[in-house]
Structure 1
Amino acid sequence: MCSFLMIIAFDFDGTLVDSYSCIEEAFYRALRRTYPWFPGKRYMAKLLTKIELQFERPRFGRHSGKIKAPMKIFQGKFARIWFEERAKLTKPLEGAREVLKELKREGHIVISFSAEDFIPGVKEYRLRQSGLYDIFDDVIIFGHGVSIKEAFRLVREKYGNETFVWVDDKPWRFIGNGDENTEYVWMYFPYTARFVTKEILDKIPHLHVIYDLWSLLDVLRRLSV
């Protein structure tokens, strides 16, 4: 059991749930619901999946962590239906619920700290559909009008300067964010790990790498010593 309080912040997609392997099927179902007359829906679903996954790549420079839909197809009725289908098909990663509850039992502050989807309100909807929403002490979503830095400042204002343990499958988000009291935990997830380079990892101080959520408990035990 950890001996002092920490703020444990979790990304959602690829960190607590697998919402990537179902993207293509969700597109197919959304096309079937929205455009039943459209031919070649399986092919179009594959194409849309390739496009969507490109927007999981690291973005640097002027990118501030604010969310913007990459194409018009990711807006409106079709996009909402796609997110609905994706939420139905999303599966929690092994140990997600159990690890969150164990952290709560140990007295830590456990928050959801993730990017909004292209449509405001959808991330909260997907969190609720996953069955994990009510476990969190707080849900903080950055994106539309709120950058990662602004979201992090909000956490500090609400919960103070305790050790902030940030768990995310996209380690490039860590670069230039957080503070001297932040520990960065990269949750290795195959769909996004393909974009991670040594150059990215070398820029991250206090970095820990885990391959499953249960290993996070070992990281916290080491930090508490």
Structure 2
Amino acid sequence: MHTREETERSYKPRGETIQGIKVTVYLFDFDGTLVDSTGAVEKALRIAIEKTIPAVIESDLYEDYYKALFLFIKGKLTYQYLGVIHELVAQGTIHEYYKLMPRYIKDFPFAREVIRELRRRGRRVISFSGEHTYPGGKVIFMKKTNWYDEFDEVITFKGTRDMLKKFETLRELYPEEPFVWVDDSPSRFTYVLDENTLFVQKFSPYKSDVALLFDRENFIKIKSIREILSIDDGLAGFEDKP
């Protein structure tokens, strides 16, 4: 297992220079990495059900409605709850959830400051995250929370295959530039073997570590998103070297 300092020393990014400065491309996950949406999900689910189907609040059906809606937004709906979801759609509960959710999303400390500072330094900062079950839901959330314009570009993907395809497209656009990919879901990193990418796992109490990643020289785990600026400082040290 490598410490952050050891990884920074061993990871030497390659990259073309523009007027002597390497252009580092940052890929940031959104939910769980830059914003805390866990509490928002629970609160928005409850209120959406209360507003659209108040009759079930005190009934034995409430847990089924809550679980069905939760599984739906996580993309894990089972046949058992299809009938419930049809009713939630008819009652406007799902629409109400997506209207409420952005109100309760909270930024992690220093998240916006880090993104803005990286862009101020001339880095290219891209939002690279999984799409919601509701088509376009991620972009809707970003716009309603005033996050959308914080990035140079916003890219969403539907699953692992789509993620790999879009990562490959980015690599084709930036063939020599070093990437820094920041995500609270380390399992995504296991699908990508790119020596010119530094994979940064943002700590989350809801996600498990992947042991094999700690053997990679281009992998770091951090506790606070603010640590990204120190990592960027370390990578910048290579910019002045031939």
TM range (shorter): 0.7 to 0.9
Length, aligned pairs only: 208
- Cα deviations by residue, 1:53-92 (Å, 9 ceiling, x for unpaired): 9x6xxxxxxxxxxxx4524439844333223222210011
Q: 1:70 pairs with 74, 77, 93, which one?
A: 77
Match of 2:133 among 106, 118, 136: 118
2:165 match = 150
Match of 1:44 among 53, 57, 63: 63
Query: Please, what is the CA RMSD of the aligned residues?
Result: 3.0
Q: Which residue of 2 aligns with 1:28?
A: 46
Unmatched tracts of structure 1, length 5 or more: 56-67
Distance across 2 between alignment mates of 1:145 and 1:202: 21
Partner residue, 1:209: 221
- How far apart, in 2, do the equivalents of 1:198 and 1:177 lie? 14
C-alpha deviation, 1:4, in angstroms: 2.7
- State the partner residue of 1:181: 196
Structure 2: runs of 5+ lacking an equivalent: 1-20, 238-242
Distance of 1:160 and 1:100 partners within structure 2: 23
Q: Tell which deviates more after alignment, 124-133 or 110-119.
A: 124-133
- Measure, in 2, the Cα distance between the counterparts of 1:201 and 1:47: 35
On the 8 A contact 2:44/2:97 being kept in 1, the answer is yes
Larger Rg: 2
Q: 1:91 to 1:27 in 2, by over 3 A?
A: same
Kept in 1, the 8 Å contact 2:45–2:69? The answer is no
Q: Provide TM-score, normalisation by structure 1.
A: 0.80
User: Bigger CA drift: 87-96 or 153-162?
Assistant: 153-162
Q: Tell me by how many angstroms 1:199 deviates.
A: 2.6
Specify the code of the residue in structure 1 equivalent to 2:222. I
Cα deviation for residue 220 of structure 1 reads: 1.6
| Alpha-carbon offset, residue 157 of structure 1 | 3.0
SS in 2 for 1:167: strand
